[in-house]
Amino acid sequence: MSTTRRRRFALILLVIIAACGCLALGWWQWSRFESTSGTFQNLGYALQWPMFAGFCVYAYRKFIRYEEEGVPEAPTDSGSVTEIPAGLLPERPTAGAASDDSDPAMREYNAYLAELAAADKAPDDQNRTTA
């Protein structure tokens, strides 16, 4: 017997408590909406909490289905290499397209970066600590 089957009673109890809690919060928001200080935000929450309760039940049912399906079997031929079809992945850009020096703004920016890199390599007497 799997450990999940042994804990099924606790899971059912948890789902019931969670769903009842969500429905109680929905009822509370509905009563807040009907009061004199209620707003449409309270109405939205009053309609939202029952959906959360439904999701608790849905998630539990989905969990049970996955549990009943079991663990999928591993592929039998694990030593072979799988090839990717030629047109599946996008083409990588070529290196020549990235080094376009015809743009003056790009040349100026690259020169600025080279100047910063040279300044970082040069020994300086500045103390760059912030402490």
Taking CA atoms, 108 is separated from 99, 103, 111, 120, 128, in Å, by 13, 9, 5, 19, 27
pLDDT of 95 reads: 67
pLDDT of 123 reads: 67
Report yes or no on 29 lying in a domain.
yes
Taking CA atoms, 121 is separated from 77, 117, 124, 126, 130, in Å, by 53, 6, 9, 13, 20
Report yes or no on 97 lying in a domain.
no
pLDDT, tens digit, for every residue of 85-107?
888 888 887 765 555 667 889 88
Report yes or no on 63 lying in a domain.
yes
Q: Does residue 31 carry a pLDDT above 80?
A: yes
pTM of the model: 0.50
Please give the span between the terminal C-alpha atoms of the chain, in angstroms, as a whole number.
61
The percentage of residues in the chain with a pLDDT greater than 90, rounded to a whole number, is 44
Report yes or no on 65 lying in a domain.
yes
pLDDT of 93 reads: 76
Q: With residue 100 as reference, give the H or E element that holds it.
A: none
Report yes or no on 56 lying in a domain.
yes
CB 19 within 8 A of CB 56: yes
Compute the distance between CA of residue 42 and CA of residue 45 in angstroms, rounded to an integer.
Answer: 5
pLDDT of 131 reads: 56
Note down the domain range covering 52.
3-69
pLDDT of 46 reads: 95
Domains: count for the chain: 1
Report yes or no on 110 lying in a domain.
no
Report yes or no on 57 lying in a domain.
yes
Pairwise pLDDT comparison (59 vs 7), residue with the higher score: 59
